[in-house]
Structure 1
């Protein structure tokens, strides 16, 4: 038993020092979508308040894949170097990861792959687009140190509520996105946990929500954000709501 114990202790030291030089088994999660996945908690008028809730605190068992495709210690804001055209704040990712670590115990190492970009429509995420290609590249890169992609966490659709054509096409586009990413990653039953909208930029919120809630694909779950508190802009979740959503996403994953 001495050799495995030594390897595990060495791995923990490597993680705490953010020196990922060995193949460390990880549960990997891709975070994709638009601003409410990228995180706008604690951001007002383009300024972040820097408050980090305890459930979003850094944990040596949680890593993130940086924009430079390097594993590093995860901390808020997770998308700061990804959604660079916007000011990012607290999102659901860290609360999700901390809850998974808490539930699974001391041996799990969670790897988060931030990919969300604010203000994007589903049509910008279909196969062949720059966003899809970036997500695919980052997901593939996340596997090079070892580990398994356990799920894609998806929160997007607010920008598809502006036009009837986008809202009507949402369900078909989302289905295609899921089938394509499963095929390109060669994970046929990859779990996808999508969030049903709590808000939108336009008047077709219910049309997009219906498409999300009624998407009929194997191993696709839907977590409803309706009822979570919004900021004064009536579009983005509050910091507390981001935490609650992260816990709901974690519970959906843990029940899978």
Structure 2
């Protein structure tokens, strides 16, 4: 099985509203929870009670479309509101990510690290030493995990920032984006994914669910092509629709029915149909 480490702040953890997009269920997409691999269901992260849709589900779905009958596991370690300083190699977030990744690597091969962070550093000229701090993080992660060539994919911040709501304070988001792009261009196996054309929730800072689906496809495009994604993809909405609307297997239908029954949304009779 392959695996992907998810790190950064809230837009990696996901704050897209779950009811706004078609849910993704795929028996070949797993997530690490309580030390066990289980079928993925969103929210993948539980860093906050408001966790929702992030980019990882559509990334994994696109990966499965390109790798038929293979499994991929997601390792959720993002933390909402975290600044890059909180990802220093002595800090709890870094050590937790290393611990979870090493545990996952006992039963999987780590094939990528996805990073989305920077909103918390988009002010007060924090962009000036962002590159150096990111470089220390990337090198330390690769060294600690023994994967010196693993792709590290960085997501650009949305161009809706700096305008409204909680995003109003992110006045230097474009300068952070410049540093993220510069890092990807200057370092091997590092790729940049644009946040251009994405939309936010009403709070003005969190990427909405539909845009998160598109962002995940962009992350996969960068992974698959080993190149930066500097612009939104042509036909992005259709790519997402085709990728995410798949016919469900018996195992997936059983999982969904049990989930709905536990939530009080289906009957015992409906559950028993799948358990015979």
Bin for the TM-score computed over the shorter chain? 0.7 to 0.9
Contact 2:20 2:210 in 1 (8 A): no
Give secondary structure in 1 for the equivalent of 2:19.
Answer: coil
Corresponding residue for residue 10 of structure 1:
none
- What is the correspondence of 1:133-148 to structure 2 with a 5 Å cutoff? 133-145=95-107, 147-148=108-109
Corresponding residue for residue 41 of structure 1:
16
Contact 1:52 1:90 in 2 (8 A): no
CA drift of 1:202 comes to: 2.4
Q: Give the structure-2-normalised TM-score.
A: 0.75
Corresponding residue for residue 118 of structure 2:
157
- What is the correspondence of 1:18-57 to structure 2 with a 5 Å cutoff? 26-42=1-17, 50-51=18-19, 53-54=21-22, 56-57=23-24
Which ranges of 4 or more aligned residues in structure 1 deviate by more than 4 Å?
Answer: none
CA displacement, residues 146-198 of structure 1 (integer Å, 9 cap, x when unaligned): x210000000000001321x221111101110011011111111110000111
CA drift of 1:121 comes to: 0.5
1:69 aligns with 2:35: yes
Partner residue of 1:123 out of 85, 89, 114 = 85
CA drift of 1:122 comes to: 0.6
CA drift of 1:52 comes to: 6.4
Change (3 A) 1:52 1:143: farther
Give secondary structure in 1 for the equivalent of 2:114.
Answer: strand
1:228 aligns with 2:189: no
Contact 1:52 1:76 in 2 (8 A): no
Alignment partners' CA distance in 2, 1:242 and 1:92: 5
Counting matched residue pairs gives: 216
Corresponding residue for residue 189 of structure 2:
219
Partner residue of 2:138 out of 175, 178, 182 = 178
Contact 1:79 1:114 in 2 (8 A): yes
1:104 aligns with 2:67: yes
Corresponding residue for residue 21 of structure 1:
none
Corresponding residue for residue 218 of structure 2:
248
1:93 aligns with 2:56: yes
Alignment partners' CA distance in 2, 1:162 and 1:121: 11
Alignment partners' CA distance in 2, 1:163 and 1:132: 24
* Long gaps (5+) in structure 2: 162-166, 227-276
